Amino acid sequence: MHAYKILSFSVVILLITVLFASAAAVPAVAQYDTMQYRYNAAHTGDYTPVAGRSNGPLTWNFTTGGYVGSSPAVAKGVVYVGSWDHNLYAINATTAAELWKYTTQGEVYSSPAVSNGVVYVGSNDHNLYALNVTTGAKLWNYTTKSYVHSSPAIVNGQVYVGSEDGNVYALNATTGAKLWSYTTRNAVLSSPAVVNGVVYVGSNDHNTYALNATSAAKLWNYTTGGAVLSSPAVANGVVYVGSNDHNLYALNVTTGAKLWNYTTRNVVASSPAVANGTVYVGSDDNNTYALNATTGTKLWNYTTGSYVDSSPAVANGTVYVGSDDGNVYAFNATTGAKLWSYTSGDAVLSSPAVSNGVIYVGSNDGNVYAIGSAAPVTSQVTTPGFDVTLASVGLIIAAYVVRKRN
């Protein structure tokens, strides 16, 4: 009888532990210390894992001294973003307080990437910089022969970035030492995507390249009819990339063979986002498009008031994108219905980043905007039906007490 009571009590404790553990398993505010351009090294633009839920309008704006075409990177509660006033800024994501800034000798159009306590960013002073995320102190810089508009990707201790000198560079992420460079026939403004040991990048020589990430050996190239400013997105064995020849291309990740192309009415400088079997991309024909990722069939398009050079971000069934008409738009990812728009003071070429319920984006009016506010932490850590779960625990304990008295 005594053993039965001990066993029963043990079962009660086990049930309580499991139930509370399952509730605690739902994370509160995600604090990621790694964040790259377009969310990850594959540049999918799908921020869902860190997006959270939004429940408000504009939270804050932070004013710099120049255009903000750089796309923010948000890591551990800090927004990192460049400005044409020559600075990279670190801004508190909640309060908009400036934590530090690092001044280069040129405009910072490159979008920063954060990894292992270091923020990497390019500048029009021809350098790629590695800075301490906490202090902004320079750890190293690597000098190319021209502007570095390209945004770096960091994978396995290596940094990959393009330069307008026509080269793609691989650098040691810790020391900045050059590991290799690959020369194209024109400027590389496209940002490299790196997946499974292969670097995918566009060039103004009209090509998209696939390079071995270790040796720089060319695996394939695909030639389009115009410059490739767009940064490739890689998902499910396909490379998606836009071209100034007005097309979005889907290429086989292994061979470079064209799977399909979708023709818009103007330049596709926007970088595609890929989520849930759909590709989202902007065009200078003023539209944002949603295409079937397998077939290229158009699912919907939304027409803004000007070019869409901004690259879409996707999170929890919503697509966010900027337009040269000065607006940031939110669309239903399935239907294309406009959910809301926020008007800044100038063109929005910056690509939105999404973190913990807030959309962060730059504008040519010199501001960085935080649109939306994080939902209360309690709403994220409490699982549906958790009150019922607690009641169930209470019933279990009550049942045990009654049985013990009997």
What pLDDT, in 10s, does the model give residues 46-55? 999 998 766 5
User: Which amino acid, residue 212?
Assistant: N
Q: What residues have CB less than 8 Å from 81, skipping those under 6 apart?
A: 68, 70, 71, 72, 73, 88, 89, 91, 111, 112, 350, 360, 362, 368
pLDDT: is 13 or 60 the higher one? Answer: 60
pLDDT tens digits for range 74-102: 999 999 999 999 999 999 999 999 999 99
What's phi and psi for 382, nearest 5 deg? -90, 120
Could you tell me the residue ranges of all domains in the chain? 2-12+15-22+385-405, 27-381
| pLDDT, greater one: 344 or 23 | 344
Nearest-CA neighbor of 307 among 325, 281, 320?
A: 325
Is the pLDDT score of 28 beyond 60? no
Question: How would residue 34 be classed by pLDDT, with cut points 50, 70 and 90?
Answer: confident
Helix and strand totals (H; E) in the chain: 4, 32
Fold classification of 27-381 (topology level): Methylamine Dehydrogenase; Chain H (2.130.10)
Pairing state of beta strands 153-155 and 98-103? Answer: unpaired
Q: Return d(Cα 89, Cα 127) in angstroms, integer.
A: 17
- Of 126, 134, 71, 62, the closest CA to residue 94 belongs to 62
Burial class (CB in 10 A: 0-12, 13-18, 19+), 59: buried
Residue type, 320: Y
CB atoms within 10 A of CB 61: 16
Helix (H, G, I), strand (E, B) or coil at 395: helix
4-43: b (≥16 Cβ within 10 Å) or e:
eeeeeeeebeeebeebeeeeeeeeeeeeeeebbbbbbbbb
Distance between CA atoms of residues 371 and 358, nearest Å: 6
At 250-268, the pLDDT tens digits run 999 999 999 999 999 999 9
Please name which of 327, 334, 291 lies closest in space to residue 308, comparing C-alpha atoms.
327
Mean pLDDT rounded to a whole number for the chain: 87
Coarse DSSP helix, strand, coil percentages of the chain, rounded to the nearest 5 percent: 15, 40, 45
Q: Are 127 and 104 in contact (CB under 8 A)?
A: yes
In the chain, % of residues over pLDDT 70:
83
Residue 305 burial (C-beta neighbours within 10 Å; 0-12, 13-18, 19+): exposed
How far apart (Å, rounded) are the C-alpha atoms in residues 400 and 392? 12
Which range is least confidently modeled, 12-21, 39-48, 127-136, 350-359? 12-21
- pLDDT tens for each residue of 186-229: 999 999 999 999 999 999 999 999 999 999 999 999 999 999 99
At 59, is the pLDDT very low, low, confident or very high (cuts 50, 70, 90)? confident
Q: Model pTM?
A: 0.85
Residue whose structure tokens are 């255009």:
67
Residue 113's pLDDT band, with cuts at 50, 70 and 90, is: very high
Tokens 């209470």 sit on residue = 394
C-alpha–C-alpha distance, residues 37 and 55, integer Å: 25
Strands 318-322, 313-315: pairing is antiparallel
Above 60 in pLDDT, residue 401? no
**Helices 2-24 and 386-405, packing angle to 10 deg:** 170
**Residue 54, pLDDT score:** 61
How much of the chain exceeds pLDDT 90, in percent? Answer: 80
Quote the pLDDT of residue 374.
55
